[in-house]
Structure 1
Amino acid sequence: MWYYLFKYVLMGPLLWLMGRPKVEGLENIPKDGSALLASNHLAVVDSFYLPLMVPRRIFFLAKSEYFTEPGPKGRFKKWFFSSSGQIPIDRSGASAAAGALSAGKRVLDAGGLLCLYPEGTRSPDGRLYKGKTGLARMALETGNQVIPVAMIDTDRINPPGTVLPRPTRLTVRIGKPLDFSRYEGMAGNRFIERAVTDEIMYSLMRLSGQQYVDIYAASLKDTSPTDSPAPEADGTAA
């Protein structure tokens, strides 16, 4: 109930006013049944504008810290993220990848739409960075096609490090599904998972028009003193 109240009443009208969003390729989202969405990640609002433009409910995987903060603020964050379709995962330790895979499988087994950010975090400078292989493993183990999604200009409305939004016009561009059935039974092979991941990132590069950088975005963020933390519903702990 809260998901659709946020979408159509509490947040949706304001998001429409700020972003004047348009969607391209909506026909590539199946009307029912499970599917994996792979999106680039420019800003926190990616996780709001994509659900706004897709009629079906979309689930995201979010790090568990957003659900465990103490105090009234922590309780509000837990309620908000849970209500808006975020599923907590523990991204620390050796079992992080298994936890993300298990949580994602539950959504897909129930016939849901699951969106992951293969870059693992927001782009620090608007370019597209190397993808992590968690999404590829999930696609191979579940047999789901992967639908690439390009969020365009969301970094202009919500640049990293800013609090107040800057109204602009943005686009959600949805590509044709990618079929990896030719790799059936090869989940766990790191070379195959890297090949699948690279194909997904190539599709995102062409769809978004971003410049591709063959390093992980997190490696840059670790050295950037100006970058501030923000929700990263990535779920790609591999």
Structure 2
Amino acid sequence: MFYGVMKLTLGGSLKLAFKPWVEGLENIPAEGPAILASNHLSFSDSFFLPAVLDRKVTFIAKAEYFTSPGVKGKLTAAFFKGVGQLPVDRSGARGAGEAAIKSGLEVLARGELFGIYPEGTRSPDGRLYRGKPGGLARVALASGAPVIPVAMIDTEKIQPPGKVVPKLMSPGIRIGKPLDFSRYHGMENDRFILRSVTDEVMYEIMKLSGQEYVDIYATAAKRQIAEAKKQAEAEAREARKDQAEQ
């Protein structure tokens, strides 16, 4: 019931304020389990996608959103539960991955929609990064549920890092045709199969989104960007020091 109220209030507000456009809604099954595999450009992706769907879609979110103390923490936890997100403890990569898989399988076993971001984290620069095979592919092969590729368009432009007030613009959502991986059922422990399934899904997301594809993980790209920024700042400090000494 709470989800329905949140969808009406938050979903209605998002659609009224931002007017998101969507293509391919007919590819979402009216009933039964399915995995929505999406690119990840913005924190708001998990809100815009459910807003345009008639069915509930469940994503996973870091456990800290559900356990923060105080009134603000309780309100945040209620909000995330209300929009259909499940807490996952991300302390330890392996533990987080297993928890995400377990959560996904439980959602699908109920005949519901499970949303997942194969990149594992938000894109640091708007490009599409290599998908992680440990979550999406294992859930797909273990459950037998179809995988529906989804492309979020321009959501990163609504509230770029450092911006408090969101920009009122129309983001887009493209939903592709379901992908059937039943031929690999029971092979969820074969790393070559997992890689193949993940790459096929990422290729479909790339076609839908039009993003440039980068064949490294987004987490590695974030480290490279952080290191480059740190190096640039160090060089700038050194340059200012040299100027001061002249």
Shared fold, TM over 0.5: yes
Deviation at 1:56, TM superposition (A): 0.3
2:54 aligned with 1:55, yes or no? yes
Instruction: Measure, in 1, the Cα distance between the counterparts of 2:8 and 2:112.
Output: 20
Aligned residue number for residue 188 of structure 2: 187
Q: Write out per-residue CA displacement over residues 202-233 of structure 1, whole angstroms, 9 at most, x where no aligned residue.
A: 0000011000001111122234459xxxxxxx
Any idea what SS the aligned residue of 2:157 has?
helix
Instruction: Measure, in 2, the Cα distance between the counterparts of 1:164 and 1:51.
Output: 22
Matched to 2:99, the amino acid is G
Aligned residue number for residue 20 of structure 1: 19
Higher helix share: 2
Deviation at 1:83, TM superposition (A): 1.2
Instruction: Measure, in 2, the Cα distance between the counterparts of 1:161 and 1:14.
Output: 23
Aligned residue number for residue 86 of structure 2: 87
Deviation at 1:6, TM superposition (A): 2.2
Aligned residue number for residue 199 of structure 1: 200
Listed as ranges, the matches of 1:67-78 within 5 Å are 67-78=66-77
Equivalent residues of 1:124, 1:160 under 8 A apart: no
Deviation at 1:15, TM superposition (A): 1.3
Instruction: Measure, in 1, the Cα distance between the counterparts of 2:145 and 2:34.
Output: 6
TM-score by length of 2: 0.87
Matched to 1:146, the amino acid is V
Aligned residue number for residue 117 of structure 2: 117
Listed as ranges, the matches of 1:1-238 within 5 Å are 1-9=1-9, 11-93=10-92, 94-133=94-133, 134-225=135-226
Higher alpha-carbon deviation: 50-59 or 95-104: 95-104
For the aligned residues, what is the CA RMSD? 1.5
Higher alpha-carbon deviation: 118-127 or 214-223: 214-223
Deviation at 1:102, TM superposition (A): 1.0
Instruction: Tell me how many residue pairs correspond in the alignment.
Output: 225
Instruction: Measure, in 2, the Cα distance between the counterparts of 1:14 and 1:157.
Output: 15
Matched to 2:117, the amino acid is Y
Matched to 1:18, the amino acid is A
Equivalent residues of 2:12, 2:51 under 8 A apart: no
Instruction: Measure, in 2, the Cα distance between the counterparts of 1:42 and 1:209.
Output: 13
Instruction: Measure, in 2, the Cα distance between the counterparts of 1:127 and 1:5.
Output: 34
Larger Rg: 2
Matched to 2:13, the amino acid is L
Instruction: Measure, in 2, the Cα distance between the counterparts of 1:49 and 1:95.
Output: 28
Q: Write out per-residue CA displacement over residues 53-107 of structure 1, whole angstroms, 9 at most, x where no aligned residue.
A: 1100110011111111122221111111111101011222333222111111110
Instruction: Measure, in 2, the Cα distance between the counterparts of 1:17 and 1:124.
Output: 28
Instruction: Measure, in 2, the Cα distance between the counterparts of 1:161 and 1:191.
Output: 40
Unaligned runs of 5+ in 2: 228-246
TM-score by length of 1: 0.90
Equivalent residues of 2:33, 2:110 under 8 A apart: yes
Instruction: Measure, in 2, the Cα distance between the counterparts of 1:117 and 1:60.
Output: 9
Matched to 1:164, the amino acid is V
